[in-house]
Chain A
Amino acid sequence: MLVSLAVFIVAFTMGGLNYVTTVLQARTHGMTLMRMPLSIWGIFVATVLGLFAFPALFVSCVMMAFDKLIGTSFFMPAVLSLGETLDTAGGSPVLFQHLFWFFGHPEVYIVALPAFGLVSDVLSCHARKNIFGYRMMVWAIIIIGGLSFIVWAHHMYVSGMNPYFGFFFAFTTLIIAVPTAIKVYNWVLTLWEGNIRLTVPMLFAMGFIFTFIHGGLTGIFLGNVTVDLPLSDTYFVVAHFHMVMGVSPVLVLFASIYHWYPKMSGKMFNVTMGKIHFWATFLGTYAIYLPMHYLGFLGVPRRYYAMGNTDFIPDSAQALNANITQAAIFVGVVQIIFFINIFWSLKFGKKADPNPWEATTLEWQTPDNPPAHGNWGEKLPVVYRWAYEYSVPGAKDDFIPQSVAPEDVVMNEGAGPYVDRSEEH
């Protein structure tokens, strides 16, 4: 496993260089960095994080593999295993934890940042409103990316590291909540007075706002050393990270798959099945993870298959656990609906309109649907504005694609000529 991880990291580095170079050097005319859709910003910054965080995993993988295979003692202390003393001695497991979490925490944002970007685009499109505070959104992505490298030891409050470290890392951890909260406010404000279309992707995107706020708030609990110590290694932690980085990005993933499905496949998915999939997943998820917070407060530890005689845990915890298991099985089974929908629609779905959501970004303006090889044919599109030109007063359509020249925008009679104020955000 260590070797395959190392190979994966080498491969990711190669792929990541491709992403970064493409975003920096291969944009089309007019597509300045500050006109890019937030999806691309999220993927770009996440890739940069990946490039600089994975080496820590690589380093720890290499040294761990040597410890396991050759008997070096980079990390391995003297170990008594099944009554036998292993050959290793003197290594530092805390050193491994530092290296691992120096990778591990940015990894959380490698998962989250693309989701932040994608959900911004889905919310804006289906609320028919420009994203609130575009520049602030970009800066928040960059600031979160930067801060994610100096919060890693908040995973290690109980590892036995120097207690003063905890002081510093609690501080940085709570600071990272600021740009994250800005993003949440901006998503909510994007919905404010929007012309919300409750499509399947929109449902998932709005579900994300709920689960993310929920998981984010419990993160503020756990970021404080004094609160974390009693809650460490309990179900509260399980509930927190599943809400914030398990369920939330997965909901965005579903939102994105439904949103871009007509473009990728040229077919429309079944809306009823999509809605059933959403409600079962969203409510089912709450049925799994909400009770876990209470189990955590009771002090139920994670990773144990049986509790034995533990007086502080009442018997009712068992009833709750059984309930969580039922909910988890239910949510798992419901996902079959999603797969049936995706594969069934691929073959029998209605032919999709090239731009069914009336979106502004470039991929919806391709000459073929789904896009043919090379996407654009002979001539590359030219970008004239940002990706969020929705509901412009006086314009005939409620969206103006990025690639439509200002003089080609059709206005209502008597509305006067189109003035591009799109980027005064």
Chain B
Amino acid sequence: MLPKNMVPGMLPAMQVAFIPLAEDSALTLNPQDNILSLEKTVLSANHYAGQAKNTLLEESDRHLKDRLFCALKIEALVTVLNELIEQEKISPADLQMLIEDKELQISHHSQQIWVNQLTQEKSWPMFYSLDE
């Protein structure tokens, strides 16, 4: 339901960092496996094993997964940018300027985002990259 990483190529060690949390909460399921088994319960496609595919249900599943990942990426970005302000690595005024700057820049190309939603020709995201 959710990709394992947000930052491509980030060390698997990053994921291990959360296993102690799982022990605290007395839940024995590994969070990675947990979300996979939840996906089977929550999404429609698996309901369908052996039967003809239903494109409407597939579209619902796909749209939910896209929105969920997009929402979590926005939440993560907002959290980290707010932390940079707290750590005084950037001033609120500079950040606001940068946001306005990028909003303007990307609004000129928003048509490309829309078209890519139709064609899925390029992979997301289109205007930034967390790769090396």
A, B in one complex: no
On A, residues with C-beta under 8 Å from B are none
